[in-house]
């Protein structure tokens, strides 16, 4: 089994690996304040990780889409059910890509208190054991997109 299949097929409720999606190339991840200001629990200085590779791909694409679009909307799903991301944007480039950073799960990566969440936190810097460059076109079936009309 190749590594990507191993990541995709792992048991998200008893994970061997945790993942972090980003549109940027990063050597070492450092704790940061979450940008999800609607969810007070996520306003924490930590590295946010998920046991669900598909969820990490959604985060790998989301911020790049925000940079490319004046109008957008996103809803992320952290409970392991599809679609992993509901979103609406004006522009979705054919070559959209991002990165999923892979980490061995350790005891200092703390799962959030909600029963059905794949989200974990880590409070110190992390160096990934693997980095997977992901293309939106390869994962589009895991998301639900609503097109917005381009602004005039």
What is the reported pTM? 0.86
CATH of segment(s) 3-147: 3.20.170
Q: What is the pLDDT of residues 96-138, one digit of tens each?
A: 999 999 999 999 888 887 778 888 999 999 999 999 999 999 9
> For residue 4, is pLDDT > 50?
yes
Count other C-beta atoms under 10 Å from residue 109's C-beta.
Answer: 20
> What is the C-alpha to C-alpha distance for residues 118 and 134, in angstroms, rounded to an integer?
20
Residue 16's nearest CA partner among 98, 102, 84, 77 is: 102
Residues ≥6 apart with Cβ < 8 Å to 39: none
Residue 53's nearest CA partner among 93, 105, 124, 88 is: 105
> For residue 44, is pLDDT > 50?
yes
For range 15-19, the mean pLDDT:
97
Coil, helix or strand at residue 20: strand
Q: What is the pLDDT of residues 64-87, one digit of tens each?
A: 888 888 888 888 877 888 888 888
> For residue 42, is pLDDT > 80?
no
Q: Where are the domains of the chain?
A: 3-147
């Amino acid at each position: 089994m190749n590594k990507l299949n191993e990541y995709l097929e792992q048991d998200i409720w008893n994970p061997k690996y945790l993942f972090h999606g980003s549109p940027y190339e990063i050597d070492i991840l450092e704790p940061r304040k979450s940008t999800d200001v609607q969810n007070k629990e996520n306003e924490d200085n930590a590295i946010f990780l998920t046991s669900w590779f598909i969820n990490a791909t959604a985060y790998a694409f989301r911020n790049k889409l925000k940079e490319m679009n004046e109008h957008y909307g996103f809803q992320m799903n952290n409970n392991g059910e599809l679609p992993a991301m509901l979103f609406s944007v004006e522009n979705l480039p054919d070559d959209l890509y991002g990165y999923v950073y892979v980490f061995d799960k350790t005891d200092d990566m703390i799962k959030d208190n909600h029963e059905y969440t794949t989200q974990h936190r880590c409070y110190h810097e992390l160096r990934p054991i693997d980095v997977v460059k992901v293309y939106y076109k390869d994962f589009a079936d895991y998301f639900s997109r609503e097109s917005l009309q381009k602004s005039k």
